Structure 1
Amino acid sequence: MILAIVLIIMLANKLKVAYPVLLVVAGLLTSFIPGIPVVHIDPSLIFIIFLPPLLYEAAWAISWKELWHWRRIITSFAFIVVFLTALTVAFAANSFIPGFSLALGFLLGGIVSPPDAVSASAILKFVKVPKRMVSILEGESLLNDASSLLIFRFALIAVGTGQFVWYHAALSFSWMLIGGIGVGLLIGFIFMKVHKYLPTDANMDIVLTIITPYIMYMIAEEVHSSGVLAVVSGGLLLSNKRHHFLSSVSRLRGANVWESFVFVLNGIVFLLIGLDLPEIVAGLKQEGISVGSALGYGLLITAVLIVIRFISTFGAVFTTLIARNYITVADRRHPGWKAPILLGWTGMRGVVSLAAALSIPVESNGAPFPQRNLILFITFIVILTTLVVQGLTLPYLINKMKLPSFDDYIPEEEEEIIIKKELAKHSLNHLTTNYNGQIENHSMLRQMALKWQEKSTEDYDEAINAESKAIYLDVLNQQRKWLLNKNHTDVHFDEDVIRKFLHQIDIEEEKLKLI
């Protein structure tokens, strides 16, 4: 599976198509090959295997500054819109799908209401969009996972018990919210102190970061609070404080490990979405539901989700235009009609929806869980349709609409030049003010001072260009060849020392890419 994932993602990058789309389609086509084993995942394990690390990595990747800046629209989409979406789906399912109670409708709504961050990010990397849209989508997807799974859990209880006591639900909801955040912050604080005060090295730090989200999730679930909120809140805390308790080598190596880890997890989940179809279809046939009818129900729910998201995006614009007269909003300007349309079209579903659907127990109170296979099939259709239709058309739509830049930030190239010059001036000032005497006695310090002096006045337009980079890259390649040849021809040189120099060249090459 992992080999297939790598090859499919290579093809997706070649075709400039979001890899979740190809993975789902490939899984679906693979499932029709005779003799392919049916993939079955224990429903009780799906959340614990995939969700904690994926949510934790998302919390580390997001900008807290951006999350806070756009907090009102993010929280409205992550909580209010998710609830309204689940409510609309519940009534639509209850009205048009035979045998669907409101509780089952809410269960389905909780499953399909959260858009998927991975899908949106994979698509947006091929097109240029304003930073604000990326920040809003990332923030929304981080928090809406928690809100949708809260709805999912309460609906699951209502279906299992056949009753819903509002004041019990309110108390339980409050504890899940407060307890989940509290557990996440507490465990995050403990691990922060472990990293900082115990004699860990880079390998230990990386292992600790991998087990941290699992411990947050399991402890929160054990005390009947929200494991998702625990991972998100704890992840945000540790992400914001990472430079206070992790060494530079732990941060560098950890970033590489996590990137590969999450890459594999995401790939497996999207491939499983397609591979799981035969088992779902077999379950539908056992329940006497035709695939054609189930397909119609899936497309109906997909249409409801798309329409309600469009209404929500334009509703958010109108609400902001009214609210700006009374409170301070992130941007008082009218966003126009292009941004809400594109935001409305970014409702691709994915990992969390699949995990939630697969986690529905096979039995409830000794009897088969009602409509489980139909819910799974509808979820599959929603994910497949939104990924393929919206995922393939979104880049074209973005290029066609030509979104304004909104001037939220200084252009990236200009910003980099300003930071380089100001950073060099600050470094030079600190060095000459505090270590002026030592500069005269140490050649390395003199070279550092000279380097920062040059950087603070350098004309970056002329000093750094494509030709200079190409020449420097060629020099680095020649250094690498010389070292490899030296290691091969001279038996008196220790290969570990040679590898250390090769590692330094790799770092220098990576630095060159950032210039």
Structure 2
Amino acid sequence: MHTILPFFLAMIAAIVLLNMWANKLKIAYPILLVIAGLLISFIPGLPTVKIDPDLIFFIFLPPLLFEAAWSISFKEMKKWWRIIGSFAFLVVFFTALSVAIVTNYLIPGFTIALGFLLGGIVSPPDAVSTGAITKFVKIPKSTSVILEGESLLNDASSLIIFRFALVAVGTGQFIWQEATLSFLWMVVGGVGIGLLLGWLFVQAHRRLPTDAPSDIALTLIEPYFMYWIAEQVHSSGVMAVVSGGLFMSTRRLIFLNSSSRIKGYSVWESFVFILNGIVFLIIGLELPEIVDGLRSNGIPLGTAIGYGLLVTGVLIAARILSAYAALIATLIFRPSLRPHASSSKRRWMMPLLLGWTGMRGVVSLAAALAIPLTLSSGIAFPHRSLILFITFVVILLTLLVQGLTLPYFISHTNLFEGVFSEEAEESAKKKMKQGLKQHVYQFLKDKYDNELIGHAGMERLLKQWEERAKATDDSWMSEKMKGIFVELLDSQRRYLTELNKDPKVDEEIIRQQLYQIDLEEERLKMI
């Protein structure tokens, strides 16, 4: 314990420093973390990082999925549900099938079941890597939502494939009828359990006398409850966390106060950052032990690297082919939903971009590390070290090759030129704020018209919103005025919530304004 604790503290410090360096270099921090972990692993005398395969999913996945479900716009997901669903389920299955066929044919001793196992591990792109990379370039909101929504749901589909493949490897047989029923229960049961628990948690937050620290503490344990309970009934813990997280996210204004939302945002941002950083460092730290496992199995390192390059090529090709198939199907069956582009050439380049965003990361590593050391019969799990090594190569190559070239590809092809502009975004914000100002002014006139006359504080408040000016002092803010001001802020939230129902309004702009209102309410409490 005295050896491991300083090591983990040093890991967290290294994660923070590497993130600062990555921001300065304008590259995604997962790239530096994987390379750093690889370099650190060669330092002699460091303690070996070992995680119980049975616990790897439970430790890392629930909070990462829960936070992702809170961050994404559910309204935007519904708008692009067809392409998100196709990439999250159909493309994942096609990718896993492609990997299974190729590895079964080209890797000696690799069965179809082992191929599907590897395919389930490496098929889901990583949302963290994609988000960290695309933050240095501007992409349309629709593309961002598609990537985020796909990454949120494809974790569930890939891990379902992973679970069925594990059973097939362990038992040597695969019964389609049982698998179909089991799949339906995992999806439907997982979603149902997540929604039920999400509703119960919302009620608990609303009815219990919680404050900000207790609200945040509850949100930290809620995804673990969702995941654990779903897994206990052999359903999908991932689907439970995703559905429960989306349910709670859309009701955050109902059961969390402004203080809980503001402080919780910071806590969760730091918590998820540390979890992601640890996982990416572990990717590099695990490599020496994985290589030792290859040598003990008599597999040359060069041969294993070749297999890793092969699988990486299959993944990239399968994703690009799927992206073009999705575009063709959209142009044929749903031409009104075709991607916006200033020219036909750029429209046909968009699937290439979407196919090039398939960086792998946290979920792939977690799944690979979750492979048991032995089968139920007690014999060693076949090709475990090779699967781990191929997964490492896939993660490293996709992060380095695709991760480093994606920003260049976007910025130098001018792919999204004319699709959006800073002026359009500023215009949308200005329109929203103008409508909000008019709503506030009308609210005060309608409800407190009699109290406005002759009351210096009320007249000053009205003037503040009418002229968009800030008061120079807070001496006029009596308890009654505070109550009116809080009521005013609640009215603004209701206005923005209604405005957000308009499909043309960007939810990100609404969320930014709601955050500003929360900050204003917190400032008011300090007066």
Instruction: Say whether the 8 Å CA contact 2:312–2:398 is kept in structure 1.
Output: yes
Q: Does 1:354 align with 2:356?
A: no
Q: Which moved more, 1:402-411 or 1:280-289?
A: 402-411
Q: 1:331, 1:300 → 2: CA distance? A: 31
Deviation at 1:403, TM superposition (A): 2.1
Q: Which residue pairs with 2:451 in the alignment?
A: 438
- Report SS of the residue matched to 1:363: coil
2:467 to 454, 457, 466: 454
> Partner amino acid for 2:247?
L
Q: 2:17, 2:339 → 1: CA distance? A: 43
Instruction: Say whether the 8 Å CA contact 1:177–1:229 is kept in structure 2.
Output: yes
Within a 5 Å distance, the mapping from 1:261-340 to structure 2 comes to: 261-324=271-334, 329=337, 336-340=347-351
Instruction: Say whether the 8 Å CA contact 2:327–2:338 is kept in structure 1.
Output: no
Instruction: Say whether the 8 Å CA contact 1:321–1:332 is kept in structure 2.
Output: no
Q: 1:31, 1:272 → 2: CA distance? A: 9
- Ranges of 4+ aligned residues in structure 1 off by more than 4 Å: 330-335, 407-410
Deviation at 1:36, TM superposition (A): 2.1
Q: Does 1:368 align with 2:374?
A: no
Q: 1:353, 1:285 → 2: CA distance? A: 23
Q: 2:75, 2:404 → 1: CA distance? A: 31
Instruction: Say whether the 8 Å CA contact 1:38–1:278 is kept in structure 2.
Output: no
Q: 2:298, 2:85 → 1: CA distance? A: 41
- Report SS of the residue matched to 2:329: helix
2:19 to 9, 22, 43: 9
Q: Which residue pairs with 1:478 in the alignment?
A: none
> Partner amino acid for 1:433?
D
Q: Which residue pairs with 1:494 in the alignment?
A: none
Q: Which residue pairs with 2:33 in the alignment?
A: 23
Q: Which moved more, 1:438-447 or 1:202-211?
A: 438-447
Q: Does 1:428 align with 2:441?
A: yes
Q: Which residue pairs with 1:481 in the alignment?
A: none
Q: Which residue pairs with 2:121 in the alignment?
A: 111
1:378 to 390, 393, 398: 390
Instruction: Say whether the 8 Å CA contact 1:114–1:352 is kept in structure 2.
Output: yes
Deviation at 1:440, TM superposition (A): 2.3
**TM-score w.r.t. structure 1 length?**
0.87
Deviation at 1:331, TM superposition (A): 5.5
> Partner amino acid for 1:370?
P
Deviation at 1:410, TM superposition (A): 7.5
Q: 1:257, 1:323 → 2: CA distance? A: 45
Q: Which residue pairs with 1:258 in the alignment?
A: 268
Deviation at 1:64, TM superposition (A): 0.6
Deviations 1:93-124 (A, max 9, x none): 10111110000000000000000000000000
Instruction: Say whether the 8 Å CA contact 2:331–2:338 is kept in structure 1.
Output: no
Q: 1:401, 1:51 → 2: CA distance? A: 36
Alpha carbons of structure 1 residues 408 and 152: separation in structure 2 relative to 1, 3 Å: farther
Q: Which residue pairs with 1:417 in the alignment?
A: 430
Q: 2:368, 2:14 → 1: CA distance? A: 24
Q: Which residue pairs with 1:207 in the alignment?
A: 217
Q: Does 1:98 align with 2:108?
A: yes
Q: 2:183, 2:422 → 1: CA distance? A: 39
Q: Which residue pairs with 1:493 in the alignment?
A: none
1:341 to 352, 355, 367: 352
Q: 1:342, 1:52 → 2: CA distance? A: 29
Instruction: Say whether the 8 Å CA contact 1:8–1:23 is kept in structure 2.
Output: yes
- Report SS of the residue matched to 1:243: helix
- Structure 1 residue ranges without an equivalent (≥5): 464-471, 473-503
- Report SS of the residue matched to 2:347: coil
Deviation at 1:441, TM superposition (A): 5.0
Instruction: Say whether the 8 Å CA contact 1:129–1:403 is kept in structure 2.
Output: no
How many pairs were matched up? 462
Deviation at 1:320, TM superposition (A): 0.2
2:239 to 229, 236, 245: 229
1:152 to 162, 172, 176: 162
Q: 1:448, 1:163 → 2: CA distance? A: 73
> Partner amino acid for 2:395?
I
Q: Which residue pairs with 2:402 in the alignment?
A: 390
Instruction: Say whether the 8 Å CA contact 2:312–2:397 is kept in structure 1.
Output: yes
Q: 2:165, 2:404 → 1: CA distance? A: 33
Q: 1:170, 1:322 → 2: CA distance? A: 30
Q: 1:208, 1:444 → 2: CA distance? A: 40
Deviation at 1:360, TM superposition (A): 0.3
Q: Which moved more, 1:226-235 or 1:195-204?
A: 195-204
Q: Which residue pairs with 2:413 in the alignment?
A: 401
Deviations 1:179-203 (A, max 9, x none): 1000000000000000111111111
Q: 1:58, 1:231 → 2: CA distance? A: 10
Q: Which residue pairs with 2:494 in the alignment?
A: none
- Report SS of the residue matched to 2:453: helix
Instruction: Say whether the 8 Å CA contact 2:67–2:268 is kept in structure 1.
Output: yes
Deviation at 1:32, TM superposition (A): 1.2
Q: Which residue pairs with 1:487 in the alignment?
A: none
Q: 1:446, 1:252 → 2: CA distance? A: 30
> Partner amino acid for 1:115?
P
Q: 1:219, 1:84 → 2: CA distance? A: 30
> Partner amino acid for 1:97?
I
Instruction: Say whether the 8 Å CA contact 2:308–2:391 is kept in structure 1.
Output: yes
Q: Which residue pairs with 1:49 in the alignment?
A: 59
Q: Does 1:138 align with 2:148?
A: yes
- Report SS of the residue matched to 1:129: coil
Instruction: Say whether the 8 Å CA contact 2:340–2:419 is kept in structure 1.
Output: no
Instruction: Say whether the 8 Å CA contact 2:127–2:152 is kept in structure 1.
Output: yes
Q: 1:199, 1:441 → 2: CA distance? A: 39
> Partner amino acid for 1:337?
W
1:73 to 67, 83, 99: 83
**TM-score w.r.t. structure 2 length?**
0.85
- Structure 2 residue ranges without an equivalent (≥5): 1-10, 473-515
